[in-house]
C-alpha cells in the first residue's frame, strides 16, 4: 500500500520536492498529490527525467 511510486522516491533521494515540482511546472502540492497514487509509465518517465536533469545540474554546481 505505501510502496506506491517507490522508484521515484528512490530516484529523488536528495533532490528537494519543490525543485522537482518547479522543473515540472507544477506546485509542490500538486507533485505530492501526483505521487500519492501509482502513476502511469508515461508520467513516471516525465518525473524521472526531471529528477535526472536536476541531479545533473546539482553535480555541475559542485564542480
Q: What are the tens digits of pLDDT across the range 8-59?
A: 999 999 899 999 999 999 999 999 999 999 999 999 999 999 999 999 999 9
Phi, psi at 44, each rounded to 5° = -60, -40
Average pLDDT, the chain: 94
Phi, psi at 14, each rounded to 5° = -95, 10
In-domain check, residue 19: yes
Structural domain count, the chain: 1
Return the number of other C-beta atoms located less than 10 Å from residue 34's C-beta: 19
Q: Which domain holds residue 44?
A: 6-62
Closest CA to 20 of 59, 63, 55: 55
In-domain check, residue 1: no
Q: Which pLDDT band holds residue 1 (cuts at 50, 70, 90)?
A: low
Amino acid at each position: 500500500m505505501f510502496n506506491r511510486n517507490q522508484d521515484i522516491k528512490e530516484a529523488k533521494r536528495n533532490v528537494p520536492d519543490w525543485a522537482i515540482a518547479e522543473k515540472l511546472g507544477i506546485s509542490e502540492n500538486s507533485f505530492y498529490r501526483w505521487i500519492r497514487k501509482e502513476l502511469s509509465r508515461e508520467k513516471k518517465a516525465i518525473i524521472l527525467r526531471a529528477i535526472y536533469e536536476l541531479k545533473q545540474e546539482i553535480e555541475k554546481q559542485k564542480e
